Amino acid sequence: MPDTLRIVNGRVYDPANGIDGEVRDICISDGRIVASLPQDAPRLDVNGMAILPGGVDIHCHIAGAKVNLARKLQPEDHRRDPHPSTAVTRSGTGGIVPSTFATGYRYAALGYTTAMEAAVPPLAARHVLEELHDTPVIDKGFYVLLANNVFLHRLLREGRREEFRNAVAWWINAAKAYAVKLVNPGADELWKGQRNTNISSIDQTGTGIDLTPRQIIRSFIDVVEELGLPHPVHIHCNNLGHSGNWQTTLETMRTAGESRLHMAHIQFHSYGGEPGKNPTSKGPEIAEYINTHPNITTDVGQVMFGKATAMTADAPLGYMLRNISHNKWINADVECESGCGIVPFTYQEKVYVHALQWAIGLELFLLSKDPWRIMLSTDHPNGGSFLKYPRLIRLLMDRDFRNEEIQKVNPRAIKKTVLLDNLDRQYTLNEIAIITRAAPARALGLKHKGHLGAGADADITIYEENADKERMFNAPRYVIKDGRMIIADYEFRTDHEGRLLHVAPAYDAAIEQKLHPFFDDYYSIEFANYPVADSYLHHHEIVPPVKAAV
Amino acid sequence: MAENIRTVEHATCTFCGCVCDDMNLTVDLDKHCITKAENACVLGKAWFAEHTIENRPAATIDGREVGVDEAVEEAARILVNARFPIIYGLSDTTCEAQREALAIGDLIHGTIDTTTSVCHGPSGIAFQGVGESTMTLGEVKNRADLVIFWGGNPGEAHPRLFSRYAVTTKGMYIPNGKKDRYIVSVDVRRTQSTPVANLFIQVKPGADFELLWALRALVRGRRLDPSVEERTGVKLDTMKQLVERMKTCRYGVLFFGMGLTMTRGRHFNSGALLALATDLNEFTHFVAKPVRGHGNVTGADNVVSWTTGYPFGVNLSRGYPRFNPGEFTTVDTLSRGDADAALIIASDPAANFPKAAIEHLHRIPVIALDPKATETGKLARVAFCTATYGINVGGTVYRMDDVPITLRPAFESPYPSDQEVLTAIKNRVRELLNKKAKPKEARKAA
């Protein structure tokens, strides 16, 4: 593979640079996209094909302690889906929770070149870094779980804001994380310490920690803004999956005021109805709030029918799902930091709740006016595998196909939605390029990703155009990562090690004097052994802080 | 001669699955030994004291001293020529070395298995069937007011499980340590662990499953036939009292050992215990944890799982992983005579496997990596003396509760690490396979 390449005759979809299907040359040199190359540079003719930036998954669960537990849990699922080695790639197994090598290759084979693991307790940071090292081709990073951190709660409770900020920054550095993740803020103490109970309101008192979820959320939003992290607070709200949770979702967004906030897998948070009873759709109401509040970004967390695995730091949710599915269940408490629940799950067309969840996701996609703030995700593997993205893209781009599919699912659920009320929007290819590439890159603050302008990482996907968008997006003809031809003519040509993306916000080292005694008292590992050493980073990139966008 | 002394703080003991990381080591760099291991238990003290630099060849072929390169060449040749090569051990080395072993397995389409298959393998199988409610050890320290030890003797095998994590230690909601906890021990006999318990329940040998199932029934409010007393050797009243305690505690823990996994019932026993812990979550918070033996057996489980999707007993002969304990586990591949070469890392199957398996090891070329002279090393065609993890080499180990810890080596070894040797073998295997592949391509072209 030469260091330079000129890709010619393809239609370019590069929404970040305002290019919508024009035939243009894309020039690559030294792993980056450049404005021009000498005329005699090697060429690749992609006549009749679409050139898009490599996909960016803003929210998935692909590596680390909980993922590996879910992997170990399901041999029956791997057995059906072997992933053989080739002359250039490693073997593995697939299924709903693929092995690390299979995960990297399968993302690449889908045209994705970046994926973010969305929930890691800092105590398991080394584990996630080891697995990400063994996840080939793609660039990757992870979000560190801080919303149920006992030490941080203590600082908040005592009003020690300055120390809180320093401790948050310390933890991000200690874990080598990319962003801050909040999951069911404030609920862990109820789960672990008060007989498996849970939060039911964002303003709940009596949480055992003398803080309401709202106080926790607001504090993190402020601090992440102050630290200038490239990605805002990434939140999995309280009450996920519960009927009537849309009020909690609205209140969570209101808590942000005008500050940036990323609402994860918002489909799971858009339910009307009464707790304990069947949900209804509040997709339109949630979409309306997002449409009118430019500070909010979100990924949908679309449910796709078939096999899934609930895998979450929201342990009470895991238990609730276990009591629905009666399937094998994992709970894993992480001292002072987090919980975890895992349940294999299957979404079925004919089940009212599942069909409603599927339909709400589509409502959110179709009613949202700004594709730059609503991103494609299935919360892999919670709503379904990332391998279902092509089908989801077809549902969005192809109205007739969507209407056929709607006919197959529980009609009672569809009646509770606006899907059949002249919701005839079809996503354009340009819009797909936004929700799968440009928007997540922008929301993550990854300036060199999600576009094809000069200076961008040469992460490029080239698809044969096809009226069947599922087929088109299922198998790119070429995938280029860091300027290297990874897939050509649908086959892997070489292996590649992607980069680990992380941030390193500054903090006052004096905070360590406060942390140390807490570790001595309540952790089971030594304070000195807690922060992750640089040796775990393999090939990495520190993404610098930015000024807050708002 | 002036004493050349170094101290290493926060070092990690990799002797057992407790992986205590609060060792303060005093190292005599001239004598290449650790003279003091502060905070270590009796096992840890011995572990640190006994690892000195011995005068052994770094590599041998058929007992003859050779250079490491020559040994690597021979090892690679053996593996590439084998039709059913097996890779075994891995639980007493770093994750970095384990990952290299997996890469070799992928290249040679071998069979990969770890010592898990002869210890908590049945717990791994049970886990696949019923899941597990579990925790990191710090949660036990901070929260557990009921701690049950079943089928194990941590007092002798994992001494600091009691003092550092689960019994006497004080935690956030357990300010008075043992006074705030109720300790139960269930075993077939009294052991050194028994005195720590507030309640000792002696179960008849081989009746663990029946007792666990009876407890599950009582948790669910079922009536039991009184014959269960005769069957298990435990009074119904005792069972009822225990169940009452389990349902009313705030944070209950079940630790279990090989008394469950390697006796009659095996994965049924582990599964019953895991299911009991799960059931109890209807009433309170309850968790369970297999007490793991080797220092990085948990790392081996993790690495093999993230690479293949399965925890142990993985066969790659079709170019992708297949899992079948009983078929691809090492005792079986050896006893049946399937394996035609073996790469043994940090384990000594020739000392502790069944006779038929050991006999087969004598028949096939064996490559052994170990810091110590072992029975396996003696019968090996190629034997490497490697540096000891945690003492001479750094890297990552996973504690029994999946918490990864970075090692702080105490002093340098003249011997290569497992990782270095395995990387060299991997690279040479790849070269040999490429050479092998080329004539075929040439034939195709012709």
Q: What is the pLDDT of residue A422?
A: 83
Q: What is the pLDDT of residue B386?
A: 98
Confidence of residue B446 (pLDDT cuts 50, 70, 90): very low
Of B138, B301, B306, the CB nearest to A131: B306
B307 touches A at CB < 8 Å: yes
CB A519 within 8 A of CB A530: yes
Q: d(Cα B178, Cα B197) in Å, to the nearest integer?
A: 10
How does pLDDT run across B90-120, given as a tens digit for each residue? 999 999 999 999 999 999 999 999 999 999 9
CB B295 within 8 A of CB B89: no
With CA atoms as reference, the chain A residue closest to B437 would be: A87
| Interface with chain A: mutation pick from B403, B405, B438, highest number of A CBs within 10 Å | B403
Residue A135 DSSP SS3 = coil
CB B171 within 8 A of CB B141: yes
Alpha helices in A326-445 (DSSP H): 352-367, 389-397, 399-408, 411-415, 429-433, 439-444
Assigned domain for A506 exists: no
Q: What is the pLDDT of residue B445?
A: 52
Closest CA to A301 of A87, A518, A61, A68: A61
CATH number of B121-290: 3.40.228.10
CB A198 within 8 A of CB A522: no
A73 touches B at CB < 8 Å: yes
User: Both tokens of residue B428?
Assistant: 């040479």
Q: What is the pLDDT of residue A538?
A: 87
CB B397 within 8 A of CB B390: yes
Q: How far is A309 from chain B (nearest CA, A)?
A: 13
Q: How far is A96 from chain B (nearest CA, A)?
A: 11
How does pLDDT run across A412-440, given as a tens digit for each residue? 999 999 999 889 999 999 999 999 999 99
DSSP readout, A459-528? -EEEEE--SSHHHHHH--SEEEETTEEEEETTEE------PEEE------TTHHHHHHHHHHHH-SS-GG
HSE of A232, CA atoms in CB hemisphere, 13 A: 28
Mean pLDDT within B287-291: 97
Mean pLDDT within B265-294: 97
Q: d(Cα B140, Cα B159) in Å, to the nearest integer?
A: 16
Q: d(Cα B113, Cα B99) in Å, to the nearest integer?
A: 13
Assigned domain for A296 exists: yes
Q: d(Cα A113, Cα A52) in Å, to the nearest integer?
A: 11
Mean pLDDT within B426-437: 94
The percentage of chain A sitting over the pLDDT mark of 70, rounded to a whole number, equals 99
With CA atoms as reference, the chain B residue closest to A533 would be: B406
Q: d(Cα A281, Cα A246) in Å, to the nearest integer?
A: 9
Q: What is the pLDDT of residue B444?
A: 55
pTM: 0.97
Question: Residue A41: is its pLDDT beyond 70?
Answer: yes
Total count of domains within chain A? 1
Q: How far is B41 from chain A (nearest CA, A)?
A: 16
Of A91, A319, A521, the CB nearest to B320: A91
B426 touches A at CB < 8 Å: no
How does pLDDT run across A173-189, given as a tens digit for each residue? 999 999 999 999 999 99
Question: Residue B175: is its pLDDT beyond 60?
Answer: yes
Mean pLDDT (chain B) is 96
How does pLDDT run across A123-150, given as a tens digit for each residue? 999 999 999 999 999 999 999 999 999 9
How does pLDDT run across B4-36, given as a tens digit for each residue? 999 999 999 999 999 999 999 999 999 999 999
CATH number of B54-118+295-445: 3.40.50.740
* Tally: H helices and E strands in chain A: 19, 26
How does pLDDT run across A237-283, given as a tens digit for each residue? 999 999 999 999 999 999 999 999 999 999 999 999 999 999 999 99
Question: Residue B3: is its pLDDT beyond 90?
Answer: no
Question: Residue A2: is its pLDDT beyond 70?
Answer: no
Q: How far is A67 from chain B (nearest CA, A)?
A: 9
Q: d(Cα B398, Cα A66) in Å, to the nearest integer?
A: 14
Q: What is the pLDDT of residue A550?
A: 39
A243 touches B at CB < 8 Å: no
The domain that holds A285 is classified in CATH as: 3.20.20
User: Both tokens of residue B254?
Assistant: 């079940």
- What residues of chain B lie within 8 A of the CB of A72, using their CB? 124, 127-128, 301, 305, 309-311
Question: Residue A74: is its pLDDT beyond 80?
Answer: yes
CB A39 within 8 A of CB A4: no
Q: What is the pLDDT of residue A432?
A: 98
The percentage of chain B sitting over the pLDDT mark of 90, rounded to a whole number, equals 96
Q: How far is A502 from chain B (nearest CA, A)?
A: 20
Confidence of residue B442 (pLDDT cuts 50, 70, 90): low
| Interface with chain B: mutation pick from A88, A331, A527, highest number of B CBs within 10 Å | A331
B164 touches A at CB < 8 Å: yes
Strands (E), B63-222: 64-65, 85-89, 111-114, 131-135, 146-150, 182-187, 199-202
Assigned domain for A2 exists: no
User: Both tokens of residue A529?
Assistant: 């052994």
Closest CA to A499 of A531, A533, A535, A537: A537
Q: d(Cα B24, Cα B39) in Å, to the nearest integer?
A: 7
Using the beta-carbon criterion (under 8 Å), do B132 and A124 form an inter-chain contact? Answer: no
- What residues of chain A lie within 8 A of the CB of B309, using their CB? 71-72, 75, 78, 92-93, 95, 97-99
Domain residue ranges in chain B: 5-48, 54-118+295-445, 121-290
Q: What burial class does residue B110 get, using C-beta atoms within 10 Å of its C-beta: 0-12 exposed, 13-18 middle, 19+ buried?
A: buried
Q: What's the domain range around A339?
A: 52-500
Confidence of residue A549 (pLDDT cuts 50, 70, 90): very low
Residue B205 CB partners (closer than 8 Å, separation 6+): B188, B263
Of B103, B281, B310, the CB nearest to A196: B281
